[in-house]
Amino acid sequence: MESSFPYIDFHTHKLSSNEERITAVTSIDPSELEPPPNNLYTIGVHPWNANTNSINLHLNNIKTYANSPSMVGIGEVGLDKMKGPRLDIQQKILEKQIEIASEIDKPVTIHCVKAWDELLALKARFGGKTSWAIHGFNGSQELAKQLLDKGFFLSIGAAMLNEKSKLQESITQIPVNRLFFETDTTDVDIAQIYAVVAVKLDLSINDLRKSIAENFSYFFRR
């Protein structure tokens, strides 16, 4: 029997999912003029696009979108030491978006590459009452532990399907009530990620679907 809990795709860039068994959250940029037609969405300036000239316009767009019931959070936003503009510019843009997240009381989806200390410092300063999730987490057990201790959720993507990824070890250290799964920019079937993790954690797929659906309700408060 098909589970009554949908597969949650926590973070995708696809505009709509036509499959009924999937609930997807599309990440869009504030320069986009139309929200995705069918999906829930988060909105935010990606660190690669951080730009101090356009930020005020984009922040206004984010606030306008925040009135829509389909807009469930801020993201993806973050820090990336390998790509994009200078880190201080990325930081400034991230801070402004985090402030809005607190103001409108929505959770935050984070992209972070090699800037964990900076991110943890920001979480300590601003991240009081809103939930934060790291999308595309593919780190070590130590990093997972550090982030979990600070209250982060961790969203796991296609890297889970790579037998050599660090996730093969760290996945077993992440409590099920802090997990999400995502397709991001890939064509992977979200059900495949659920299937691999269910085996790793020795859970039925149905139980995993139930747990992730509960996380989803908690994180997005819906």
Interface ranges with Zn ion (CB under 5 A): 184
The distance of closest approach from Cβ of residue 36 to Zn ion in the complex, given in angstroms and rounded to an integer, is: 14
Contact of 162 with 174, CB cutoff 8 Å: no
The distance of closest approach from Cβ of residue 13 to Zn ion in the complex, given in angstroms and rounded to an integer, is: 6
User: Cα(18)–Cα(39) distance, rounded to whole angstroms?
Assistant: 9
The distance of closest approach from Cβ of residue 79 to Zn ion in the complex, given in angstroms and rounded to an integer, is: 14
Contact of 36 with 4, CB cutoff 8 Å: no
| Tokens 């030491």 found at | 81
The distance of closest approach from Cβ of residue 190 to Zn ion in the complex, given in angstroms and rounded to an integer, is: 14
Comparison of 5 and 73: residue with beta carbon closer to Zn ion = 73
Q: Which residue is nearest to Zn ion (CB)?
A: 184
Comparison of 5 and 152: residue with beta carbon closer to Zn ion = 152
Comparison of 80 and 184: residue with beta carbon closer to Zn ion = 184
Coarse DSSP helix, strand, coil percentages of the chain, rounded to the nearest 5 percent: 40, 20, 40
Comparison of 28 and 66: residue with beta carbon closer to Zn ion = 28
The distance of closest approach from Cβ of residue 206 to Zn ion in the complex, given in angstroms and rounded to an integer, is: 28
Distances from the Cα of 151 to the Cαs of 84, 130, 144, 146, 219, in angstroms?
27, 10, 11, 9, 12
Strand partners, 73: 42
Comparison of 6 and 136: residue with beta carbon closer to Zn ion = 136
For residue 103, whether the previous peptide bond is cis, meaning omega lies within 30 degrees of 0, is no
As a whole number of angstroms, the longest Cα–Cα distance in the chain is 53
